[in-house]
Amino acid sequence: MINDYENAEKSRSMFTEVYSQKRGTCITVVLLGIIIGIFAFAYITFGNDTIADSLRSNHTLKLVSIIIEHGQTAPKFTYPNDPHLNDSRWQSSLGELTKRGKQNMHSLGKFFRERYSALLPDLYFSSDIRVLSTNADTCLMSVAVALAGLYPPHKFQVWNPHVLWQPIPIKGISEEVDKMIGITQSCPSLPKKKKQIENIVTSGDVNLPKLYDFLSENTGAEIRNLSSVLALYNLILVQDKTNLPLPDWIPLVYPEKMLPYTIKALKLETGDAEITKLTTGVLLEKIISDMMKKSTRELSTKMFLYSGHEQSLFNIYSVLNGGKGRESSIKPEFASSVMIELHSVEDQNIVQAYYLNKPGKTPHSINITECGDPCLLENFIKFTKPFIPQDWTKACSM
Ligand SMILES: *[C@@H]1O[C@H](CO)[C@@H](O)[C@H](O)[C@H]1NC(C)=O
Ligand SMILES: *[C@@H]1O[C@H](CO)[C@@H](O)[C@H](O)[C@H]1NC(C)=O
Ligand SMILES: *[C@@H]1O[C@H](CO)[C@@H](O)[C@H](O)[C@H]1NC(C)=O
Ligand SMILES: *[C@@H]1O[C@H](CO)[C@@H](O)[C@H](O)[C@H]1NC(C)=O
C-alpha cells in the first residue's frame, strides 16, 4: 500500500514535468489515466484497510435513529423560598418551551440537515422519515421546530415565499399507551423497582442525608430523594442560564455537590436489566427491529426521530455506553441527542452511536462497550437481549 502511494507521488511529478513541457496531449491523457487508476486503486485498498475509516464516509450510512431531548423549558415547579417564585420573566408559563429552547431545537434540526445531507435529500419525501414523540407539549413543539431546521422547503416544495417552513407529520403517542418514549403507560412495578435500586445506591452514603437536610431547609420543600434533587437541580439550571440572581446558599451546593446525585437519579431507570426492560426495552426493540429490516432492505425509511425527555435520552445512552448503566456519567443538556447509525460496510452491518450534548458542538462517538469494535449488528442484538421485554405489560405487573 505504501508502495502505491509512492508510485502515485512519482507519477504525479512525472505528470507535472510532462505537462509543463507540453509533450503532446496523447502522453498526458495516457498518464492521466494511469494516475487516476493508481489513485483509485490506492483508495480502494485504503478503504479495505480499516473499517473505521470507511465509517467516516457518508455512503456507508443506511439508517439513523435519533432520540432528542426537548429544548429549554421554563421551570416546571418552584419551591416555597424561591425568590423567583412569581417571576413573569419567562415568556411562557411553567414547564413550557422558551424562546431559547426553540432556537436550540432549530439549530439541532439544521445540524441534522448538514450531517445527514447525503442520506436525506433536501426535498421532503414522506417515506424518508418517521417522527414519533411523547404527547407532552414540550416534546411535540420541540421536534416541530427541529423539523423546520431539517426540512426548509426547496424548489417546488415552497408553497409560500414568505413562509420558509413546511408541515412534516409528527405522531404523538398518547400518555396511556406510551411505553416507548415517555413511559407514561401504567406500569406498577416500575416505581417499586426504582425505589429498590435507589435504596441500594444510596445506602451507606453519609453525605446524602446532610445534603437532603441542607436543601430541604433552604428551599422550604421536602427534598428527601434523588428525583427531588434532580428536579431542583434542573430548576436552578434554568434560572442560572437565564442569569437570574441566585440565593447565596445555591453556590455552596450547585453544581458540584448536587451533580453526582442528579446523575445517580438519572441512572436509576437503567440500574439493572429488569428495570431497563421497563424503561428502555420497547424503544430499543423498535430501533433494533428497524435496523434488521433495513439490513434486509425491507424498509424505505432512512431516519427515525424520537422526541422525548432528558430521562429518555439518558436511558438509551446508558444502555449503549454501559450495558447496565454503570459507565455513563453524562448530564444531558436541553436539546441534546443520541444518534444510532446503521452502516453497511462490505456486507457487514455496523452500528455506530453518537451523542451531541448541545447543538453547535461536535458530537462524540459513544463507546458501545459490550458490543465490540466495530459493533456488528448481530453483536448489538446479542448484548441488548437481556433488556428486551418479552411481554412489557406482564413485566410491569411482576
Ligand atoms: C408569590 O405570590 C404569592 C401569591 O400571590 C405570594 O403569597 C408570595 O409571597 C409571592 N412570593 C414571592 C417570593 O414574591
Ligand atoms: C457527511 O458529510 C458531511 C460533509 O462532509 C459531514 O458534514 C457529515 O458530518 C457527514 N455525516 C456523517 C454521518 O459522517
Ligand atoms: C420524592 O419526594 C417527593 C417530595 O417528597 C415526592 O413527591 C415523590 O413522590 C418522591 N419520589 C420518589 C420516587 O420517591
Ligand atoms: C470502550 O470500552 C471498552 C470496555 O470498557 C474499553 O476496553 C475500550 O478501551 C473503550 N474504548 C474507547 C475508545 O474508549
Cell of 147: 423539523
Residue having the nearest C-alpha atom to atom 6 of ligand 2:
115
List the one residue out of 55, 88, 8, 26 whose CA is nearest residue 345. 55
d(CA 278, CA 397): 11
Q: Which helix (H) or strand (E) holds 287?
A: helix 281-295
- What residues are in contact with ligand 2 under a 6 Å CB criterion? 56, 58, 61, 114-115, 118
Give the bridge partners for 349, in sequence order.
344
The pLDDT, as a whole number, for residue 376 is: 97
Ligand 3 binding pocket includes 228 (Cβ within 6 Å): yes
Terminal-to-terminal C-alpha distance of the chain = 59
Cell 426504582: give the residue: 194
- For residue 152, report the distance from its CA to the centre of ligand 2, in Å: 19
Ligand 1 binding pocket includes 80 (Cβ within 6 Å): no
- For residue 367, report the distance from its CA to the centre of ligand 4, in Å: 6
- For residue 233, report the distance from its CA to the centre of ligand 3, in Å: 15
d(CA 333, CA 144): 19
Ligand 1 binding pocket includes 85 (Cβ within 6 Å): yes
84 CA closest ligand 1 atom index: 13
Residue having the nearest C-alpha atom to atom 14 of ligand 4:
367
The pLDDT, as a whole number, for residue 329 is: 80
Q: Which of 78, 86, 219 to mutate to test the pocket of ligand 1 (most atoms within 8 A of CB)?
A: 86
The pLDDT, as a whole number, for residue 12 is: 41
- For residue 346, report the distance from its CA to the centre of ligand 4, in Å: 24
The pLDDT, as a whole number, for residue 55 is: 60
Tell me how crowded residue 19 is: count the other CB atoms within 10 A of its CB: 14
What is the full per-residue pLDDT of the chain (398 aa) written as tens digits?
334 433 444 444 333 333 444 444 444 555 555 555 555 544 444 444 455 555 667 899 999 999 999 999 988 778 889 888 777 665 566 778 999 999 999 999 999 999 999 999 999 999 999 999 999 999 999 999 999 999 999 999 999 999 999 999 999 999 999 999 999 999 999 999 999 999 999 999 999 999 999 999 999 999 999 999 999 999 999 889 888 899 999 999 999 999 999 999 999 999 999 999 999 999 999 999 999 999 999 999 999 999 999 999 999 999 998 754 455 689 999 999 999 999 999 989 999 999 999 888 899 999 998 898 899 999 999 999 999 999 999 999 98
365 CA closest ligand 4 atom index: 13
Q: Which ligand is nearest to the CA of 365?
A: 4
Ligand 3 binding pocket includes 307 (Cβ within 6 Å): no
81 CA closest ligand 1 atom index: 13
| CA 58 to centroid of chain Cα atoms | 18
| CA 203 to centroid of chain Cα atoms | 32
Q: Which ligand is nearest to the CA of 85?
A: 1
- Per-residue b/e over 369-387, b at no fewer than 16 CB within 10 Å? bbbeebbebebbbebbeeb
The pLDDT, as a whole number, for residue 5 is: 38
pLDDT digit string (tens) for 100-129? Answer: 999 999 999 999 999 999 999 999 999 999
